[in-house]
Amino acid sequence: MGSLSYNHKTFDFDDRILTHLQIVIVRKLRRGESFLVSWKHTAQMGGGRSSIWVHPSVPLLFTFAGGRSPTVNLVWLAQLSLSADGPHGLVVTGEDLAHGSGLPAQGR
């Protein structure tokens, strides 16, 4: 289990999800864009959801539990990127939801 630390708060994510989030978030921050990131809590956390407003001036730390980078699913990455550019911001979804997206299956 990895984590995303932002504005003195730490949020836990699976390394695979975190790898894809890192790519999307860094792309947006390189362009100087601020945006919303939202995700649902697991049932173990009591359900609910969280959102953070990401701004380029706030330090961000990605910490991975594993020593190897997971392979990148290009379909899932494209879906997350489209979400990040949309009106609701980057909505964290599971990789399983990317399979029916209608996007090309390259890089899975």
pLDDT tens for the chain, 108 residues: list them: 899 999 999 999 999 999 999 999 999 999 999 999 999 987 777 788 999 999 999 999 999 998 888 999 999 999 999 999 999 999 999 898 766 554 433 333
Give, as one character, the DSSP assignment of residue 89. Answer: -
pLDDT at 67: 87
pLDDT at 108: 32
pLDDT at 4: 96
φ/ψ bin of 47: left (φ > 0), alpha (ψ from -120 to 50), beta (otherwise) = left
Confirm if 54 and 29 have CB atoms less than 8 A apart.
Answer: yes
pLDDT at 98: 67
pLDDT at 80: 97
Measured distance CA(32)–CA(50) in Å, rounded: 23
Confirm if 11 and 82 have CB atoms less than 8 A apart.
Answer: no
Measured distance CA(81)–CA(24) in Å, rounded: 6
Contacts of 46 (CB under 8 A, 6+ apart): none
Give the predicted TM-score (pTM) of the model. 0.85
Domain residue extents for the chain: 2-98
